[in-house]
Structure 1
């Protein structure tokens, strides 16, 4: 189920505080809860490290690149997964050391590769040809090298088909028929330490995906070891832990996933007569912050034509996922829920001059009024970071709520 608004913003008093925040900072307004983010990070790390003592979580910066939130996650023990040099710069500005940052880009320029090399981050190459590019700009590759494997298959449990990140139609990763040669080239270029990476899906809610991922990645690693004598220091199974966007959808059970992963690792190590458990890494973004963000927007117009429309001051420029992917986000109207207004069926839209600027179609919601605040849930990832300026729209302010409900503009 979706995560409710912070306790300080619930009930009649909470609605007054929400109105105060909207009046103070303006709408649309993005709100995050610091303590919820901290608690979730601690739970993930504690649960994984109970069975994988050296487990490392690299937060996917693209999900929510605000430095204040990144600092919170770093304080809780997370490293960072960066897909651009801008994200690298943000992390280095926060004082994050290179071994806590993995750089997984795609179709990467030589200039960007040179910067990543100079910053001393873990470079995870997406293509065999990038070995030559690194050698050209820096004379060699780093001691520690990693490649992203595309095993030829992918998966997602969301309605967003572009969340399938592996397979012949995915632009990411090195195919199996090139992966041994990729590591051979890296060896020849000076690499002496190695990791291996695979991420074939996003917003995955099915536990069996992780068994398939580990099995495929481990078997490939053993093939490379057999041919090249490489021992892998870490295996990175990417991100992809999903969150429930639907109100009645259950959350993934982290404990059961960890147990499944450990059991699968033990079985694979037994099959290959290995006794050393590699460092397990993940790169979750959505799971870490997604449920702990809410986009607050004010209804600025109501239209009755072929259907009833509530027009908000937020738009697709502030939350792209529904318009771009057809993604579902839960929406509530706190004032109308408190006074138990009758339920109606209506559409919820933004004011962009585009007909895909929708937040919800045929939603059963309380009958609202102009001026009411609407709350859109699960906007703590892939929301503010995907904003754009079409029609001259500006990004909404972001505030971080402390444990006592005190807001901080970020």
Structure 2
């Protein structure tokens, strides 16, 4: 089975619009997201501004759950908080029955603030600190995905000291190439994540002898933005083989955590086929008699968010630059991963206007502060607005205040109305927690 191929050419603006059911262009109101004009949101809360659609968030979750159910699978979905940790989104998924997958104490405490039961939280990550583990174990965390022999000893000591027992799964590194960008692969032997497969049998037996430890099964995660089921098939086949080997050695295995990484279409191409993914899960691990978990993030929230921005100016020279008020401090993915995001004018008139190539950039003093190169766009006068698409995952969570730029506002669209869920950071907030110590005078 061949890996899905990335885009070979930029899609047309009309194709970007047509391939996103939550978007519509109205002649008078301009670009609308879940029926709400983006101009209205920008008028009320300014730009740059994150915009999330509750209807799309729910639809993505239900589509994944339905595909798994139609394949005859009972898989408990744990939303990967690292993709977007906003309390409004965590709370929404909790109401749908999702658990959470966290990678820090801060993320864990966010899930608690949003009402996710501690017993429904999985703690992943290669570098959990002792204070983080102690707090999570004390709160009754559901499962810790252990990434090393050293971490297993830490957990045993912490759990024993507190008189508790920690449920753990060993994260196996299956050494499978997921076919993704090198910076988001997690399942290769030279990645920092997980335990080499050849060490699992010994370490699982050792875990069963440690005080404060209840080994319950295996976990794996092979990367992010995976567009083909083939890498999953390879990884899950190895996981199934390991489960059978562990049981043959007398170990008790009740849980298999399948990880996440389901890819989405950032252009006009489809993302991974949910039916094909579910079929792979069914074929490779459906008959293991284990509780199945999975940890999707990007698939659920990526298409459910966009970054609304305004044009500061067009700069003409050897190239045409469209300079936005959004920047790499808001959306880091293009600078970090060379990530491609669709960009649509919010104005219906501009969508139909003649187009010419332009580099879409931000105002930060870094050459990497660029959202797009050679993108066909109409003339964009100062104040014109654009929507940077599919920015719901790894957007706001990776933002910063670099160049002393306040963090953007965020709104959630629910049932045709928009609600402010994060106010725009004020400039004064940038130094509100800083102190000037006594300084020696000159001379």
Instruction: Please report the TM-score for the alignment, with normalisation by the length of structure 2.
Output: 0.85
Q: Distance in 2 between matches of 1:254 and 1:339?
A: 32
CA 130–304 in structure 1, closer or farther in 2 if over 3 Å, else same: same
Does the CA-based 8 Å contact 1:5-1:294 persist in structure 2?
A: no
**Residue in structure 2 matched with residue 212 of structure 1 by the alignment:** 234
> 5 Å matches for 1:350-361?
350-361=362-373
Does the CA-based 8 Å contact 1:155-1:163 persist in structure 2?
A: no
Q: Which runs of 5+ in 1 are unaligned?
A: 270-275
Q: Deviations over 1:233-291 (max 9, x none)?
A: 121110010000122x123221232123212335xx5xxxxxx5322211000000101
Alpha-carbon RMSD across the aligned residues, in angstroms, is: 2.0
- The alignment partner of 1:195 has SS state of strand
CA 165–213 in structure 1, closer or farther in 2 if over 3 Å, else same: same
Q: Distance in 2 between matches of 1:354 and 1:217?
A: 44
Deviation, structure 1 residue 169 = 2.4
Q: Deviations over 1:200-224 (max 9, x none)?
A: 1210111212211210111122222
- The alignment partner of 2:282 has SS state of helix
- 1:203 lines up with 2:215 in the alignment: no
- 1:136 lines up with 2:152 in the alignment: no
Q: Distance in 2 between matches of 1:214 and 1:329?
A: 31
Deviation, structure 1 residue 185 = 2.4
Deviation, structure 1 residue 124 = 0.9
- 1:321 lines up with 2:343 in the alignment: no
Identify which of 274, 279, 291 aligns with 1:254: 274
Give 1 or 2: higher helix fraction.
1
- The alignment partner of 1:149 has SS state of strand
- The alignment partner of 1:188 has SS state of coil
- The alignment partner of 2:208 has SS state of helix
- 1:150 lines up with 2:173 in the alignment: yes
**Residue in structure 1 matched with residue 92 of structure 2 by the alignment:** 72
**Residue in structure 2 matched with residue 272 of structure 1 by the alignment:** none
- 1:161 lines up with 2:173 in the alignment: no
CA 39–300 in structure 1, closer or farther in 2 if over 3 Å, else same: same
Does the CA-based 8 Å contact 1:213-1:237 persist in structure 2?
A: no
> 5 Å matches for 1:43-192?
43-121=63-141, 122-139=143-160, 142-157=165-180, 160-190=181-211, 191-192=213-214
Does the CA-based 8 Å contact 1:333-1:373 persist in structure 2?
A: yes
Q: Deviations over 1:89-128 (max 9, x none)?
A: 0111223222210000212221111112112111111111
Aligned length: 398
Q: Which runs of 5+ in 2 are unaligned?
A: 1-14, 423-443
Deviation, structure 1 residue 325 = 1.0
Identify which of 283, 290, 307 aligns with 2:295: 283
- The alignment partner of 2:195 has SS state of coil
**Residue in structure 1 matched with residue 8 of structure 2 by the alignment:** none
Deviation, structure 1 residue 192 = 4.0
Q: Distance in 2 between matches of 1:104 and 1:339?
A: 44
Which shifted more, 74-83 or 10-19? 10-19
Does the CA-based 8 Å contact 1:300-1:371 persist in structure 2?
A: yes
Q: Distance in 2 between matches of 1:105 and 1:339?
A: 43
Deviation, structure 1 residue 26 = 1.2
Deviation, structure 1 residue 52 = 4.5
- The alignment partner of 1:243 has SS state of coil
CA 294–48 in structure 1, closer or farther in 2 if over 3 Å, else same: same
Instruction: Please report the TM-score for the alignment, with normalisation by the length of structure 1.
Output: 0.91
Does the CA-based 8 Å contact 1:144-1:195 persist in structure 2?
A: no
**Residue in structure 1 matched with residue 411 of structure 2 by the alignment:** 399
Deviation, structure 1 residue 319 = 0.3
